[in-house]
Structure 1
Amino acid sequence: MRQGKPITPEEAGRLRSLGLAVIETEAAAISSLAARIDDDFARACSYMLECPGRIVVIGMGKSGHIGSKIAATLASTGSPAFFVHPGEASHGDLGMITSGDVVLALSNSGETGELLTILPLIKRLGVPLISMTGNPGSTLACEAEVSIDVSVEKEACPLGLAPTSSTTAALVMGDAMAIALLETRGFTAEDFALSHPGGSLGRRLLLHIGNIMHTGDAIPKVSTDASLNAALIEMSSKSLGMTAVVDGQGDLAGIYTDGDLRRTLDHKVNIHEAGVSEVMTVNCKTVVPEMLAAEALQLMEENKISGLLVVNGRGELVGAFNMHDLLRAGVM
Structure 2
Amino acid sequence: MTKKADFLASARRTIQLETEAVKDLENHLDGDFQHACELMSQCTGRIIVTGMGKSGHIGRKIAATLASTGTPAFFVHPGEASHGDLGMFTSEDVVLALSNSGETAEIVTILPLIKRMNAPLISMTAKPDSNLSRAANANLHIGVEKEACPLNLAPTSSTTAQLVMGDALAIALLETKGFSKEDFAFSHPGGSLGRQLLLKVENVMHSGDDVPCVKEGTSLHNALFEVTQKRLGMTAVLNEAGVVTGVFTDGDLRRALDHEVNLKGTPIEQVMTVDCTTIRADILAAECLQIMESKQINALLVVDDDNKPIGALNMHDLLKAGVL
Aligned counterparts of 2:229 and 2:4: Cα–Cα separation in 1: 62
Report the residue type matching 2:270 in the other structure.
Answer: E
Aligned counterparts of 1:221 and 1:211: Cα–Cα separation in 2: 20
Aligned counterparts of 1:231 and 1:34: Cα–Cα separation in 2: 67
Aligned counterparts of 1:254 and 1:326: Cα–Cα separation in 2: 23
Aligned counterparts of 1:28 and 1:279: Cα–Cα separation in 2: 66
Per-residue CA distance 1:121-176 (angstroms, 9 max, x = gap) = 11111111111112222221121111111111211111111111111111111111
Residue 211 in structure 1 maps to residue 203 in structure 2: yes
SS of structure 2 residue aligned to 1:108: coil
Aligned counterparts of 1:270 and 1:16: Cα–Cα separation in 2: 70
Among the aligned pairs, what percent are the same residue? 61
Q: 1:297–1:95: structure 2 CA closer, same or farther, 3 Å change rule?
A: same
Report the residue type matching 1:329 in the other structure.
Answer: A
Report the residue type matching 1:301 in the other structure.
Answer: E
**Who is 1:156 aligned against?**
148
**Who is 1:106 aligned against?**
98
**Who is 1:199 aligned against?**
191
2:176 to 175, 184, 195: 184
**RMSD between aligned alpha carbons?**
1.7
Q: 1:263–1:138: structure 2 CA closer, same or farther, 3 Å change rule?
A: farther
Aligned counterparts of 2:251 and 2:165: Cα–Cα separation in 1: 52
* CA-CA distance at 1:253 after TM superposition: 0.7
Aligned counterparts of 1:26 and 1:266: Cα–Cα separation in 2: 65
**Who is 1:250 aligned against?**
242
1:59 to 32, 35, 51: 51
**Who is 2:217 aligned against?**
225
Q: How does 1:100-179 map to 2 (within 5 A)?
A: 100-179=92-171
Aligned counterparts of 1:176 and 1:274: Cα–Cα separation in 2: 66
Aligned counterparts of 2:116 and 2:314: Cα–Cα separation in 1: 61
Aligned counterparts of 1:24 and 1:313: Cα–Cα separation in 2: 59
**Who is 1:321 aligned against?**
313
Report the residue type matching 1:319 in the other structure.
Answer: G
Aligned counterparts of 2:27 and 2:254: Cα–Cα separation in 1: 61
Q: Please list every run of 5 or more consecutive structure 2 residues that lacks an aligned counterpart in the other structure.
A: none
* CA-CA distance at 1:268 after TM superposition: 4.9
Q: 1:265–1:35: structure 2 CA closer, same or farther, 3 Å change rule?
A: farther
Q: 1:30–1:259: structure 2 CA closer, same or farther, 3 Å change rule?
A: farther
Per-residue CA distance 1:11-55 (angstroms, 9 max, x = gap) = 79x222222222222122112222333322121111000011110
Per-residue CA distance 1:282-312 (angstroms, 9 max, x = gap) = 2222111111111111221222221111112
* CA-CA distance at 1:93 after TM superposition: 0.7
TM-score by length of 1: 0.92
- Kindly report structure 1 stretches of 4+ aligned residues shifted beyond 6 Å: none
Residue 264 in structure 1 maps to residue 256 in structure 2: yes
SS of structure 1 residue aligned to 2:224: helix
Aligned residues of 2:182 and 2:197 also touching (Cα < 8 A) = yes
* CA-CA distance at 1:233 after TM superposition: 2.0
SS of structure 1 residue aligned to 2:274: coil
TM-score by length of 2: 0.94
- Number of equivalences: 322
Aligned counterparts of 1:37 and 1:270: Cα–Cα separation in 2: 77
* CA-CA distance at 1:266 after TM superposition: 4.4
SS of structure 2 residue aligned to 1:153: coil
SS of structure 2 residue aligned to 1:94: helix
Residue 274 in structure 1 maps to residue 266 in structure 2: yes
Aligned residues of 2:243 and 2:306 also touching (Cα < 8 A) = no
